[in-house]
């Protein structure tokens, strides 16, 4: 069975396994929860496991980069908090990066409204915020309210950027993500590789499709728009797109779904057609959503790196950079190989 590459991020579950305790215990120890009693021995095991694995406290770079912010307060403004896990993952990444330095993160949801952003900034500065992270749920170019131009503290953009690149900003490397997903299928011998995209106006869709086309070109495979189906990021759209693809006279032998929810719908449509994944057809998703581990077979996918992006934002704030222009930083969407891909014509798995 395939597993993550050794370069994957270390999770609380990894620390829990190494320390011989539950993930909940790890969370209590690493978050400094004082009203829950943990034995000194167990606490020491958790902290040592975290150090050994490089989680939160294990990096010398992390210590030195954030030392200037020790005991500080950081503001985190996001346009939408509740509807998707991306904001929570980014905030978790920021928190994991900074917990040892006793940095407090204040979070506000703006719903993309300038008046909400201005009110949040005013209150965060009043609370002593020494830096602001501004996040968009969807990767995009943003036009910031003028209030951001007069901030007395550093500003970092997460999952978005401006035309002028005036502020440090970080986004996922979606082009190489789409390329990696497609390359995996090419290397498995597939030539008839379909893709189900998200909504075409979104940058993530455009970039993942660009990566898909790059991989095909590099492999000498002609781009065929008849096996490019538009979805809307939902399981239903993945289901309907898969039915159309498999009804073609020359159906694909592999499908790259541009998010895991569409892959879930894809799985259902393939099962209804009597096809087995990956024996009859291989499927790759994107995002590394929690559901990817609960599909059967488990879904090979690309990790959307919001946790690393949150950690990057904290380190960038600590640098206090005031340069007039900043290149947009792109963070790799790591390939997470599981069981939904196989070489072309490989026998079905149980």
The model's pLDDT over 106-135, given as tens digits with 9 standing for 90+, comes to 999 998 899 999 999 999 999 999 999 999
Superfamily of domain 174-303: Response regulator (3.40.50.2300)
Question: Lowest-pLDDT range, 85-99, 139-153, 300-314?
Answer: 85-99
Q: What pLDDT, on the 0 to 100 scale, is given for residue 133?
A: 97
Closest CA to 154 of 119, 130, 177: 130
191 by Cβ neighbours in 10 Å (0-12 / 13-18 / 19+) ranks as: middle
Q: Say whether pLDDT at 32 is over 70.
A: no
Percent share of the chain, pLDDT over 70: 86
Per-residue pLDDT band at 348 (split at 50, 70, 90): very low
Closest CA to 155 of 175, 178, 127, 133: 133
CATH of 58-171+306-329, one of 3.20.20.70, 3.40.50.2300, 3.40.50.1970, 3.40.50.300: 3.40.50.2300
**Three-class DSSP category at 10:** coil
Q: Mean pLDDT score of the chain, rounded to an integer? A: 88
Q: What pLDDT, on the 0 to 100 scale, is given for residue 265?
A: 98
Residue 194 phi, psi (nearest 5): -90, 165
Q: Say whether pLDDT at 349 is over 80.
A: no
Closest CA to 259 of 296, 301, 226: 301
Question: Lowest-pLDDT range, 130-144, 181-195, 335-349?
Answer: 335-349
Q: What pLDDT, on the 0 to 100 scale, is given for residue 69?
A: 66
Intervals of CATH 1.10.260.40 along the chain: 10-57
Sign of the torsion formed by the C-alpha atoms of 240, 246, 249 and 253: positive
In CATH, 10-57 is 1.10.260.40: yes
**What average pLDDT score do residues 26-36 get?**
66
Question: Lowest-pLDDT range, 28-42, 100-114, 229-243?
Answer: 28-42
Q: What pLDDT, on the 0 to 100 scale, is given for residue 9?
A: 59
**What average pLDDT score do residues 9-28 get?**
78
Q: Which two tokens stand for residue 215?
A: 């991989």
Q: What pLDDT, on the 0 to 100 scale, is given for residue 283?
A: 98
CB 51 within 8 A of CB 58: yes
Q: What pLDDT, on the 0 to 100 scale, is given for residue 60?
A: 33
The dihedral region occupied by 146, where left means phi > 0, alpha psi between -120 and 50, and beta the remainder, is alpha
Q: Say whether pLDDT at 282 is over 80.
A: yes
Question: How does DSSP assign 129-173, residue by residue?
Answer: EEEEEEEEEEEEE----GGGGG-SS-EEEEEEE-TT--S-EEEE-
Intervals of CATH 3.40.50.2300 along the chain: 58-171+306-329, 174-303
Q: What pLDDT, on the 0 to 100 scale, is given for residue 67?
A: 60
Q: What pLDDT, on the 0 to 100 scale, is given for residue 24?
A: 74
Closest CA to 168 of 330, 321, 310, 318: 321
pTM here is 0.79
Q: Say whether pLDDT at 62 is over 60.
A: no
Q: What pLDDT, on the 0 to 100 scale, is given for residue 61?
A: 35
């Amino acid at each position: 069975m395939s597993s993550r590459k050794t370069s994957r991020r270390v999770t609380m579950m990894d620390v829990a396994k190494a320390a011989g305790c539950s993930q909940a215990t790890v969370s209590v120890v690493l978050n400094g929860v004082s009203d829950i009693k943990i034995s000194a021995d167990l606490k020491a095991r958790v902290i040592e496991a975290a150090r050994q694995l490089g989680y939160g406290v294990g990096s010398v770079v992390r210590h030195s980069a954030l030392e200037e912010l020790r005991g500080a307060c950081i503001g985190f403004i996001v346009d939408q908090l509740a509807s998707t896990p991306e904001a929570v993952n980014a905030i978790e990444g920021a928190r994991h990066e900074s917990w040892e330095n006793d940095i407090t993160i204040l979070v506000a949801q703006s719903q993309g409204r300038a008046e909400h952003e201005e009110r949040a900034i005013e209150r965060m500065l009043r609370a002593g915020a020494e830096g602001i992270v501004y996040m968009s749920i969807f990767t995009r170019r943003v036009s910031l309210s003028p209030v951001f131009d007069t901030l007395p503290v550093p500003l970092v953009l997460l999952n978005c950027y401006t035309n002028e690149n005036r502020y440090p900003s970080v986004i996922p490397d979606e082009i190489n993500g789409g390329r990696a997903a497609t390359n995996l299928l090419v290397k498995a011998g597939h030539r008839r590789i379909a893709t189900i995209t998200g909504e075409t106006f979104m940058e993530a869709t455009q970039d993942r499709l660009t990566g898909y086309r790059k991989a095909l070109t590099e492999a000498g495979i002609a781009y065929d728009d008849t096996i490019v189906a538009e979805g809307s990021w939902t399981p239903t759209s993945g289901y309907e797109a898969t039915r159309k693809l498999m009804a073609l006279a020359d159906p694909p032998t592999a499908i790259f779904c541009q998010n895991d929810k569409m892959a879930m719908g894809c799985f259902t449509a393939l099962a209804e057609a009597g096809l087995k994944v990956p024996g009859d057809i291989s499927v790759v998703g994107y995002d590394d959503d929690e559901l990817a581990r609960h599909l059967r077979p488990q879904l090979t996918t690309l990790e959307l790196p919001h946790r690393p992006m949150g950690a990057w934002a904290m380190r960038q704030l600590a640098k206090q950079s005031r340069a007039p222009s900043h290149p947009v930083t792109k963070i790799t969407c790591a390939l997470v190989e599981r069981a939904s891909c196989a070489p072309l014509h490989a026998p079905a798995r149980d």
